[in-house]
């Protein structure tokens, strides 16, 4: 039996999360089980339930760390000279982060699908922070637009980057080499921004 207070609550939690991430990275999300995580840190199954509400809770905490890592990666792009370059940098960082941590990234999105309880509000907040970055750059390019239109544009553009990332990771729908996805986000951003003329935004009707 593990000695009481061999490790503090925080240490134990950290150990468990790290072990779970290793398991995830090496064997994928399907291999993530309470018993395996418990074994990896040298505790019994029951002990995990003193630290985490359940497996879902553990997954959410992994997702929190994943998301934080993503934000860090994005932050390194903040020095790019122009809004356009910054947006491309974000997209590129997003893409490579997702590829580097493919299993963690998959967990982040597959897990939100499990319809038990809501996504915790910190997740919402972190994502809002990401969108704020995008919106800032878009607003700089289009100061004449209303905040609502900027928001809509940010979500449109970023959903698109997300879609490219997701399909890139999942399969061989993609021909071409390593750079295909990168090329796609670049051209997407270029064309979207070039096609964004003030006239067509505010109404929303089909005018073409």
Query: Which residues make up the interface to DNA (CB under 7 A)?
Result: 1-7, 12, 32-36, 42-47, 49-50, 54-56
The nearest distance, CB 4 to DNA, in angstroms, is 4
Q: What is the rounded CA–CA span in Å between residue 28 and residue 35?
A: 15
Q: What is the rounded CA–CA span in Å between residue 40 and residue 16?
A: 8
For every residue of 122-168, DSSP letters joined together read HHHHHHHHHHHHHHHHHHHH-TTS-HHHHHHHHHHHHHHHHHHHHHH
The nearest distance, CB 110 to DNA, in angstroms, is 14
User: Of the two residues 146 and 187, which places its CB atom closer to a second copy in the complex?
Assistant: 187
User: Of the two residues 38 and 164, which places its CB atom closer to a second copy in the complex?
Assistant: 164
Residues at the site binding a second copy, with contacts judged by CB under 8 A: 28-30, 84, 88, 106, 109-110, 112-115, 119, 124, 127, 151-153, 155-156, 159-168, 170-176, 180, 183-184, 186-188, 190-197, 200-201, 204, 206, 208
The answer to whether the beta carbons of residues 193 and 84 sit under 8 Å apart is yes
User: Of the two residues 69 and 83, which places its CB atom closer to a second copy in the complex?
Assistant: 83
Chosen from a second copy, DNA, none, partner binding at 4 (C-beta under 5 to 8 Å by type): DNA
Reduced to 3 states (helix: H, G, I; strand: E, B; else coil), residue 108 is helix
The gap from C-alpha 170 to its chain's centroid, in whole angstroms, comes to 15
């Amino acid at each position: 039996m593990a000695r009481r207070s061999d490790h503090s609550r925080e240490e134990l939690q950290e150990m468990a999360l790290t072990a779970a991430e290793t398991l995830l990275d090496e064997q994928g999300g399907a291999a993530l089980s309470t018993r395996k995580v418990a074994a990896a840190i040298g505790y019994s199954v029951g002990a995990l339930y003193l630290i985490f509400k359940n497996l879902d809770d553990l997954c959410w905490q992994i997702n929190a760390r994943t998301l934080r890592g993503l934000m860090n990666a994005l932050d390194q792009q903040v020095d790019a000279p122009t809004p356009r370059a910054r947006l491309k940098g974000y997209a590129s960082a997003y893409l490579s982060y997702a590829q580097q941590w493919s299993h963690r990234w998959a967990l982040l999105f597959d897990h939100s699908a499990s319809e038990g309880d809501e996504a915790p509000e910190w997740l919402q907040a972190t994502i809002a922070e990401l969108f704020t970055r995008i919106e800032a750059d878009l607003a700089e390019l289009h100061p004449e637009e209303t905040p609502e239109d900027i928001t809509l544009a940010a979500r449109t553009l970023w959903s698109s980057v997300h879609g490219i990332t997701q399909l890139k990771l999942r399969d061989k729908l993609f021909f071409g080499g390593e750079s295909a996805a990168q090329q796609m986000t670049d051209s997407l951003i270029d064309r979207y921004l070039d096609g964004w003329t003030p006239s067509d935004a505010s109404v929303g009707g089909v005018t073409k």
